[in-house]
Amino acid sequence: MIDTFDLIVKLTAAFGPSGQETEISRVISDLARPYADEISSDTLGNLIVHRKGSGPKLMFATHMDSIGLVVTYFEEDGTLRFGKLGGISPKEIINAPIRFSNGVMGAVKVHGKADEDKLSLDDLYLDIGAGSRGEAQSMVRLGDTAVYATVSMRAGNRIISPYLDNRVSCAVLLKALERLKKTEYDLYVVFTVQEELGLRGAKTAAYGIDPDFAIAVDVTGAYDYPGAPKAGSAVLGGGAAIKVMDSSVICHSAMVEKMSDLARQQSIKAQQDVLTRGGTDAGAIHQSRLGVVTGGISIPCRHSHTPTSIADLSDVESCIKLVTAFTENK
């Protein structure tokens, strides 16, 4: 497989807003094939990579969908009104370049009379270069979705990219699959859909697989930049973040302890992830059926859901090592 940075670049470039995961699913499926006994997808579109083992069942879940913008109305002048798929802050997307799956490009702009301190999505519009409603309607359809068209860049040992949430975690699990020598677990690596809309794919995947243990791999907020709110403990460069809690889950103490022990024994740089907002697929999985013993491994990420999120490649490497270590040590 290509190196980690190039892999993240490739994954972040694939189209895949919530509910439209066909392209990203195909890219991941091609990359995972050499390391899988079986690859399937379920009704909602979750991509399930199965590596057979004697058991118990271990399920990793990482969402492959991204946030996005959805066309809701065509103005007479050819501009578009839009809604959001997932959490988007209006002020953070002004001037962002965007693209639709059919290649139509555009930019997010703000209405000249808007009060910039109280912005809502109603104050924003998309300019796709159309001069009239008819022309715009010939380019995109109502309900079409767009994603940020910013590109991934390397900045020292960091990566700046539009969709580290959550393609960086997809890269972590693909790399772990590549490195994994042997496992006794009956291993399911699930690339889930529609996480950004409320953990929808993880819910059905967990029900279907019925795992004994589960680990959600996702980004976590790193609030270590100027003026950041005190909303979480993780910092860039602090290593793999072992999830203790977020607003969707209190992780099972046995999982937190096992991961912390493994990190210590194998000298994997790690930190605790205590987050007072946000959620991950762990939130849905641990409540599946009669409950699942669930933990989380998080990649610290600044400015998630903006066109330029930032992560540290050494943290990514620590997360790959921790996933691999956990899977190889029953």
Residues lying near Zn ion in the complex (CB under 5 A) are found at 165-166, 218
Distance CA 147, CA 159 (A): 19
Residue 215 in tokens: 């680990």
Distance CA 214, CA 291 (A): 11
328 is catalytic: no
Q: CB atoms < 10 A from the CB of 40, how many? A: 11
Nearer to Zn ion, 62 or 327 (CB): 62
> Closest distance between Zn ion and the C-beta of residue 279, in Å?
9
Residue 274 in tokens: 């205590």
Nearer to Zn ion, 166 or 233 (CB): 166
Distance CA 216, CA 202 (A): 9
> Closest distance between Zn ion and the C-beta of residue 305, in Å?
9
Nearer to Zn ion, 194 or 327 (CB): 194
DSSP assignment of 150-170, as one string?
---EEETTEEEETTHHHHHHH
Task: With beta carbons less than 8 A apart as the criterion, state whether 172 and 316 touch.
Answer: yes
> Closest distance between Zn ion and the C-beta of residue 111, in Å?
30
DSSP assignment of 204-234, as one string?
HHHHHH--SEEEEEEEEE---STT--S-B--
Distance CA 282, CA 294 (A): 6
> Closest distance between Zn ion and the C-beta of residue 198, in Å?
12
CA dihedral 137, 141, 147, 148 (to 10 degrees): 0
264-274: b (≥16 Cβ within 10 Å) or e: eeeebbbbebb
Nearer to Zn ion, 256 or 275 (CB): 275
Nearer to Zn ion, 79 or 166 (CB): 166
> Closest distance between Zn ion and the C-beta of residue 278, in Å?
8
> Closest distance between Zn ion and the C-beta of residue 266, in Å?
26
- Of the candidates 38, 92, 195, 196, the residue annotated as catalytic is 195
Q: Which residues partner with 74 through β-bridges?
A: 80
CA-to-CA dists, residue 208 to 41, 43, 216, 246, angstroms: 11, 11, 16, 25
DSSP assignment of 96-158, as one string?
-EEEETTS-EEEEEE-TT--GGG--GGGEEEE-S-SSHHHHHHH--TT-EEEE----EEETTE
Find how far residue 322's CA is from the centre of its chain.
18
Nearer to Zn ion, 64 or 136 (CB): 64
> Closest distance between Zn ion and the C-beta of residue 122, in Å?
26
Q: Which residues are catalytic?
A: 195
